Chain A
Amino acid sequence: MLILECPCCGVLADETELTAGGEAHLKRFGPESSDDEFEGYLFRRENPRGVHFERWRHSHGCGKWFHAARNTVTLEVYGTYSAQTTEPPEAIRQKISGVAPGWKWRLFK
């Protein structure tokens, strides 16, 4: 069972208490954007086999959104952090680089 620590209320919550919200740090597009930009934003996710940054909501807890860094193969959780950011914090990036050699933020083009 996946257990994440909610950075908003500090509770260790298992996945039945949480709702997954998909990939984090998306660049959003609005009116006047091209079809290609909309398609990329709406549908083309990284879907990596490995390190994944994602949005979660502590829906049966404090109700707030947060971000998690997780591995989709080993299910290892690298950490959770506030949703009020556009990039993963440096500490989490360093931790991931330590366990997954060769990994870099935004490696996937």
Chain B
Amino acid sequence: MPGVHQMKRYSAFAVAREALRFHTGWERAWRSPEPRRRYDVVIVGAGGHGLATAYYLGKNFGITNVAVIEKGWLGGGNTGRNTTIIRSNYLQDPSAAIYEKARGLYETLSQDLNYNVMFSPRGVMMLAQTQHEIRGYQRTAHANALQGVETRFITPAEVKELCPIIELDGPRYPVLGALWQPRGGTARHDAVAWGYARACSAMGMDIIQKCEVTGIRSENGKVRGVDTTKGPIDCAKLGIVVAGHSGVLAEQAGFRLPIESLALQALVSEPIKPCMDVVVMANTVHGYMSQSDKGEMVIGGGTDGFNNYTQRGSFHHIEETVRALIETFPMISRLKMLRQWGGIVDMTGDRSPILSKTPIEGCFVNCGWGTGGFKAIPGSGWAMAELMAQGRSPLAEEFSLDRFRVGKFIDESVAAGVAH
């Protein structure tokens, strides 16, 4: 039965209490129930965006008769595969609005969810390594000032001061400055998914893992429910939040999305002592890096140029990325790489996301976040919940599917390809 499930709060007191009784009192962070026959809302995809959508449906609109269904395991897709960078220094107003909303929500997310997502506003810098990039980032800094997003164009000397391990006069591209967002940073990606899942479960929502959607049922152009590997589930409203597999779900529903799926890679090094406390993105040479709390250097690579559903990616991209980073940070040249992985990113034509109604009434999509979705999770969930509950959302307005038909693109060159 739906209803609020009282969960014990995490606190310093709880740690002390459990320490005194051999940690026997910790409960599972979320329930794993069997699906019921019917829900008000079904969200497909228990990644960050899907869980955040469910969470804000409950928190902001009191809609808690919700199931979040997931083919694999919770947060096992791109939520668990990204490089955890959070920033909102976008050029276009609609992008800055939704990413800054997300960044703002990240600031207090740990308190809001009672779950430590380890948001670390350590600062993000995007290096300018050509004259063209200097002009581009200065323009972005001016746009951000108008949008109320705190960014600043900084000098090479400031870059060196913030990140002493950087090589300013590299062999190919010198560092000529950077776009600096002091309140950008990183968060623990898994914890974001787990925190939302725990909060959703506490509100009485069902999170159903290892349950694949095999069909989407509609009648007279209105959504009726989904068929899954755990049986049919009816719903009044359906949210498709499945990133790289959005096209597969859309096909089941009978429409096409302007999405192509590519593999994007990331890798981490062996852990080393703390050596950089900012996030550095070098877009001209195609590489970006930050250091995790464990000491691993977290490195983002490039996307494959061709359609791909394999969650692996091509080897030569790693070579290119690592080569670029050794130019920028010569001290990492002897580092061993520990792990490499890929995720399937959903790329749109203008590199901006889609939060939209669909040709099927009651069926909504949230996709197209491409290479940079992690940073947007809270804002995306906020806007998607608003869209599903009320039929419109100011934050999502410009991101509708319609923009591809009328030609009203939100062209984000900074969101393209590798720059995340």
Contacts and interface: CB of A to CB of B under 8 A. Distances in A.
Interface in B296-323: 305-310, 314-316
B258 to A, nearest CB: 4
A49 interface: yes
A73 interface: yes
B261 A72 contact: yes
B257 interface: yes
Interface stretch (A12-20, A84-92, A93-101): A12-20
Interface residues of B, number: 25
Nearest to B306: A20
A39 B258 CA distance: 9
B357 to A, nearest CB: 16
A15 B314 CA distance: 9
Given A2-B314, A72-B309, A49 B248 contact: yes
18 contacts: A15-B305, A15-B316, A16-B316, A19-B305, A23-B307, A42-B349, A45-B256, A45-B259, A47-B247, A47-B307, A49-B247, A49-B309, A52-B307, A54-B306, A72-B261, A72-B307, A72-B309, A73-B309
A1 B309 contact: no
A68 to B, nearest CB: 9
B405 A72 contact: no
A20 B303 CA distance: 12
Interface centre among A46, A70, A72 (most CB of B within 10 A): A72
Given A35-B405, A39-B405, 11 more contacts: A1-B314, A23-B307, A35-B407, A42-B404, A45-B256, A49-B247, A54-B306, A54-B307, A70-B306, A72-B310, A73-B309
Nearest to B305: A20
Contact of A43 (B245, B308, B315, B349): B349
A72 B313 CA distance: 12
Contacts of B248: 49
A36 interface: yes
B260 interface: yes
B404 A39 contact: yes
Contacts of A36: 405
B352 to A, nearest CB: 12
